[in-house]
Structure formats: structure tokens, C-alpha cells
Amino acid sequence: MNAPAPLAPLPFYQPLGNEVALFTQAWEQGMPVLIKGPTGCGKTRFVQHMARRLGLPLYTVACHDDLSAADLVGRHLIGAEGTWWQDGPLTRAVREGGICYLDEVVEARQDTAVVLHPLADDRRELFIERTGESLRAPPGFMLVVSYNPGYQNLLKGMKPSTRQRFVALRFDYPAAEEEARIVANEAGVELGLALRLVQLGQALRRLEQQDLEEVCSTRLLVFAARLIRGGVAPREACLAGLAEPLSDDARTVAALMDVVDVHF
């Protein structure tokens, strides 16, 4: 007999407010959750942490502008044996009573709303048009979606009729001490170095650079910290881990490095 697979360790997550309790409540009551917040602020890590904490399988889908309802629900495939049906991640999560997490949901095609709406309200039902099957989601199932409100344009905003089906949580970059604890833990660096990086990150976020599509995320601070821990000189680490990922424009990168030079 095979020994059971060891349980994956609980992914580290530094809570920033009452999100753990709210998410747990929503799950217990069968309500879907929407998480809004800038890129790299911990949305995905939070969902991974909660799935493991609640003991639920997690299916994560990175949404893109070509993602259709069929990609979520499943499709018929043709193999040597003929045609067979393959469940998509949403259908698997429903069957197994797990979490289906749709990252950047506003990127997905509009036809996905047709399958998400009946799952996100009292019906908790998934209708698989191609097979004629109708699945009622078991109590464990939870739909979680996230998006970055900063990215939205008029065409890609989340429709109010969709948004109003969710319990919504707003995430943002943590306060300096909390963010330093995250960076220290994730990169395995001393708290002092983590705090310096976080202060640099905060200064970079204050820059109102027209050319910057993204602000400096916790993820980038973790990258820079890891490079430093690996032996890269701090300035080089900040160039490769922070400034270059933030902009393609050489002048903007130089301006970001001026801020780096004040801190390192």
C-alpha cells in the first residue's frame, strides 16, 4: 500500500486585516469572493493560504483575453479511442468541492459570465451545455476571482451585475513594518535590509511616473532581496530586480535608480 502523500506546508501569509475571517465566513456560507488590488500585493498567496488552511483543492486560472467559457468548463477531445470529454478547471473544482480561483477575471471573454453567474448566486449550479450535464456545487466549492482595478478600462471593467454577486475584499500594499516582515520571510534576509528595501519601494510608489504602468510591488521587493541574499550587490539587485522590470524606458529606469541611490 502506498503511504499517503505528505500534506503541503501552509503557504506563508501575513494577514493585513480581517481578510482571513471574512474569507472563512464567505466559504462557510457558500458565498463567492472577489479580491481587488494592485499586482503583486498578495492576492494569489492569500488564496493559496486559505485553500490549504480550509483543506480544499485549489484550481487557479490566469485569465487572458482569449479565455472562453469552454476553457473553464471543459471540452470534447479527440484521441486514439475516439472522442472523450475533459473537465476544465471550473468543473473539476465543482465536482471536488474545491476552490476555483480566476486571476484577472476581467480579462476573460464575456461569455464566461454565462457560466459564472449561476455558480455565483444561490443556485450554485454549473450547466455544461456540451454534455447537457447540470452540476450542483457541493458545500466545499467556492468561486474566487481577482482583478486589478488600476488596469481597467471602460470595455474591460467588471459589470456591476457580476460584481454584486460577490463578497468583495480590497487589498493594497501593506504598511512598512508588515511588508518588511513579508520580504524578510520570503527572501530569507534580515529585517533591517528588508525594511530598507520597503522604504525604497514606498519612495518608488510615491513617484508619479507617467511612464510607469505598474507600481513597485511586494513581489519585486522580494526579488531584489533574494538577489542581494544570493550575493548580488544591492545597487545591481535593485536595477535588475526593481527598476528594469518596472520600465522599458531608459530615462525612467535612470530616474528610478536615482531613488535607489538615495537608499543604498
Q: Which is nearer to ligand ADP, 40 or 89 (CB)?
A: 40
Summarize as ranges the residues that interact with ligand ADP (CB under 6 A).
12-14, 16, 37, 39-45, 182, 186, 218-219, 222
Name the minimum Å distance from CB 192 to ligand ADP: 19
Name the minimum Å distance from CB 44 to ligand ADP: 3
Nearest to 126 by CA among 108, 114, 109, 140: 114
Q: Which is nearer to ligand ADP, 137 or 225 (CB)?
A: 225
Name the minimum Å distance from CB 250 to ligand ADP: 26
Q: Which is nearer to ligand ADP, 14 or 252 (CB)?
A: 14
Name the minimum Å distance from CB 156 to ligand ADP: 17
Strand partners, 134: 127
Q: Which is nearer to ligand ADP, 49 or 196 (CB)?
A: 49
- The total number of residues written for the chain in this structure: 264
244-247: long-range contacts (C-beta < 8 A, 24 or more apart)?
Answer: 245/220, 246/204, 246/212, 246/214, 246/216, 246/220, 247/209, 247/211, 247/212
Q: Which is nearer to ligand ADP, 74 or 174 (CB)?
A: 174
Name the minimum Å distance from CB 219 to ligand ADP: 4
* Cell representation of residue 231: 550575493
Indicate the residue whose CB is closest to ligand ADP.
Answer: 42
Q: Which is nearer to ligand ADP, 69 or 216 (CB)?
A: 216
Name the minimum Å distance from CB 95 to ligand ADP: 25
